[in-house]
Amino acid sequence: MSFGFSSYPWRLASAFLGLLVTGILGNSTLQASSAPILIRGGSIFTMNSKQPWAQALVIRGNRIEMVGSEAEARIAAGSQAEEIDLKGGICLPGFIDGHNHLAMGAITKRGVSVAGLEGKAAILSKIRTWVAQQPKEGLLLGYGWMPDSFKSGSPRREWLDEITGDRPMLILSADAHDMWFNTAAMKACGLTDQTPDPEPGKQYYRRDDQGWPTGHAIEGAASLPMLVRLGAFGPEAARESQKLTLARAPAQGITSYFEAGVLIGETSDAAAPVYEQLIEDDRAGKLPVRIVGTVWTRSPDDDPKKIAARLKEWNRKYASEHLKISVCKMWSDGTLMSRGALLLDPFCDEPHVRGKMTFPPEKIEAVVDAVQQAGFDMHIHTDADGSVRTVLDVLEKVRQRRGGGFRHTIAHNSLVHPEDVARFAALGVIANVTPLWGTDYNGSYRTIYTKLLGAARMEERLFPYGDLVRSGAVVTYGADIPGVDVDEIPPLIQIEAAVTRKRPGYPKDLPLVARQRVSVEDALRAYTVHGAYQLRMEKEVGSLEKGKKADLVVLGRNIFEESPETIHTIPVVLTMMDGRLTHDARP
């Protein structure tokens, strides 16, 4: 099965770069230098508020020995030091992605891409051409459509049947929250008019008047069983997909990331083989990034005590030098676009509909309470202003009862009411966001959200990344594949989107809610020291300071001197994790 890509301008170069990367799936073992390392010849931005800038730093083993002037550094390093010349570039702390699915997310980007296409005719034409070029047997896959891609808002299996015949086909939506399937796939999975919906009205199959699935599965409890049954998801597919994600991460400057859920089965337990393999990689010296993993829940029927117990078990069982499992991930709702998230006010195009959440408040509270009592943090998928308020209310209630000290994160925050923005800092709740979504993503977000929310609500609440920063909240960034495509993962792409509110490579775009733009420094903070704080690693990484681990990235040009619209073109020259070179593109 082939992996596909969308058509942003940077994609060809990035795809080629991925072929040059060794690491997790390569044969090389990553080792720290035995000699001291002196980094000099450019700017060093430390993210340390007491010493934000430096001329040089010295690394000994896997830790930073000193940060300061070049003269001081040369003395500290000694005559036998290995020297890294920045050549006028800039050295930064390694990027920390606060929400991603690098361990398996690329399995959602296989087959035919229909991203950016609009209308039934254009999408089916692309699928028809692609299917004609495939082998005559086996499962057919695709991805990239959105609910707004079709006038009806929902695709039908009969449309695919005319192209695929009796071959099963599954086409995931752009964010993988929805799935389009044909009749052959429906039959192979045993779906009929008598098949119950996993969670009626929340995670379910669209149906015709006779009760038969029409070919549109909404949310993971409906789609995952089909993907597993037909062999599209599993440990082997996840491992293969890592060539496009984990193996490329060092070339993108990533040194740590939060694995927001390994989704290869109907429950979190299915992720065990993936974590086992990653630990083997780490013990063999081949894991190029630090990973904080999760036990996840998508269903309100999951037992909170069992979730907490499993997290405690996996925290002990699946641990190595650079991998730990210490967070519970919850999907409290679905997506605003699919009306699977709760609005405070009705949709503009459906005045009597406000959407709904997957988890009721009392179920969210029970899970948060159990996980917090077990000593762990929550990371909660929340996509609309009503959902955000509900989750903040729950976290406030648990905090009042159990006390603070926890670093719970609300992820996505696509729509947040101004009154709730200030509550993040007050409650110590971290806000994780995906900057690329705060643009006219795929050339369609402005149109979609105008239809759903109206211009006034968009201006006030949509992707309020700047408001969250200015409120004093801890804001972190994460690319979140499958919510973005494979080549949209690089932090420099996301940073440019945060700074401009435009799609990278499209300088003529109108900024989407321009007042939500942030500074380069704010964006870097989200990808470094704040990311480290979210993952409880700030004592070891996130800034370049004496005694911290040597996790850093060298950029070929100074990001502070770059035109905002070209940040995504800055080359990543070198990446180091734990004092080991994980990426080296020096001549």
We report the CATH number of the domain holding residue 173 as 3.10.310.70
Q: How many helices (H) and strands (E) does the chain have?
A: 18, 24
Reading the block at residue 432, the tokens are 């994780």
pLDDT at 26: 55
The dihedral built from the CA positions of residue 498, 500, 502 and 504, taken in this order, carries a sign that is negative
Mean pLDDT of the chain: 93
Instruction: Kindly state the average pLDDT of the residues 459-475.
Output: 98
Check whether residue 50 and residue 140 sit in a common domain.
Answer: no
pLDDT mean over 123-151? 92
For residue 16, pLDDT over 80 is answered with no
Integer Cα distance of 546 and 86 in angstroms: 20
- Inside any domain, residue 206: yes
Q: Quick one: 178 and 216 in the same domain?
A: yes
Query: pLDDT tens digits for 210-240?
Result: 999 999 999 888 999 999 899 999 999 999 9
Instruction: Tell me: pLDDT of 8 over 70.
Output: no
pLDDT for 246-276, tens place per residue? Answer: 999 999 999 999 999 999 988 999 999 999 9
Q: How confident is the model at residue 30 (pLDDT cuts 50, 70, 90)?
A: low
Q: Is 143 in the same domain as 85?
A: no
Q: Report d(CA 277, CA 235) in Å as an integer.
A: 9
Same domain for 121 and 51: no
Section 356-377 average pLDDT = 97
Quick check: is 375 in a domain?
A: no
Confidence label for 2 from pLDDT (cuts 50, 70 and 90): very low
Please tell me whether residues 148 and 215 are part of one structural domain.
yes
Does residue 179 register a pLDDT over 60?
yes
Residue 307 reports pLDDT greater than 60: yes
In a domain, 239, yes or no: no
Please indicate, yes or no, whether residues 188 and 129 belong to a single structural domain of this protein.
yes
Q: Which residues pair with 217 in a beta bridge?
A: 179, 205
Q: Residue 124's pLDDT is what? A: 96
Give yes or no: residues 220 and 136 share one domain: yes
449-456: which pairs have CB atoms within 8 A and are 24 or more residues apart?
Answer: 451/148, 451/348, 451/349, 452/336, 452/337, 452/347, 452/348, 452/349, 453/347, 453/348, 453/415, 454/348
Q: What is the pLDDT of residue 248?
A: 97
| pLDDT average, residue stretch 19-40 | 66
Instruction: Give the domain range for residue 558.
Output: 37-94+547-584
Where is pLDDT greater, at 26 or 585? 585
Q: Which of 174, 198, 229 is the last residue of a domain?
A: 229
Q: Strand (E) positions, 125-253?
A: 140-145, 169-173, 178-181, 204-207, 213-218
Supply the pLDDT for residue 12.
Answer: 36
Strand ordering across the sheet containing 552-555: 53-54, 43-45, 90-93, 552-555, 572-577, 580-584
- CATH code of 45's domain: 2.30.40.10
Residues 88 and 118 in one domain: no
Confidence of residue 28 (pLDDT cuts 50, 70, 90): low
Confidence (pLDDT) at 11: 42
More confident position, 326 or 201: 326
> What is the identity of the amino acid at 327?
V
378 belongs to a structural domain: no
DSSP structure string for 267-306 = SGGGGHHHHHHHHHHHHTT---SEEEEEEEE--TTS-HHH
pLDDT at 159: 96
The SS3 assignment for 394 reads helix
Cα 304 to Cα 364: distance, rounded to the nearest angstrom:
9
Residue 58: inside a domain, yes or no? Answer: yes
| Overall average pLDDT of the 474-484 stretch | 96
As a dihedral over the C-alpha atoms of residue 203, residue 205, residue 208, residue 214, rounded to 10 degrees, the angle is 150
- Work out the average pLDDT over 52-62: 98
Q: Are residues 191 and 148 in the same domain?
A: yes
pLDDT of 1 strictly over 70 = no
Higher local confidence (pLDDT), 220 or 161: 161
DSSP 197: P
Our count of domains for the chain comes to: 2
In a domain, 571, yes or no: yes
Q: What is the pLDDT of residue 220?
A: 85
Percentage of residues of the chain with pLDDT beyond 70: 95
Task: Give the confidence band of 19 by pLDDT, cuts at 50, 70, 90.
Answer: very low
Tell which of 166, 199, 229 closes a domain.
Answer: 229
Tally the residues of the chain. Answer: 587
Residue 178 resides in a domain: yes
Report how far residue 399's alpha carbon sits from residue 393's, in angstroms, rounded to the nearest whole number.
Answer: 10
Residues 152 and 211 in one domain: yes
> 553 pLDDT exceeds 50?
yes
d(CA 548, CA 538): 9
Bond before 482 cis per omega within 30 degrees: yes
Residue at 525 is within a domain: no
pLDDT higher than 70, residue 586: yes
Using the 3D structure, point to which of 204, 229, 254 is the last residue of a domain.
Answer: 229
Whether residues 75 and 171 fall in one domain: no
Position 521 pLDDT exceeds 70: yes
Q: How confident is the model at residue 5 (pLDDT cuts 50, 70, 90)?
A: very low
For residues 117 and 144, state if they share a domain: yes
Q: What is the tens place of the pLDDT at every residue in 100-120?
A: 999 999 999 999 999 889 899
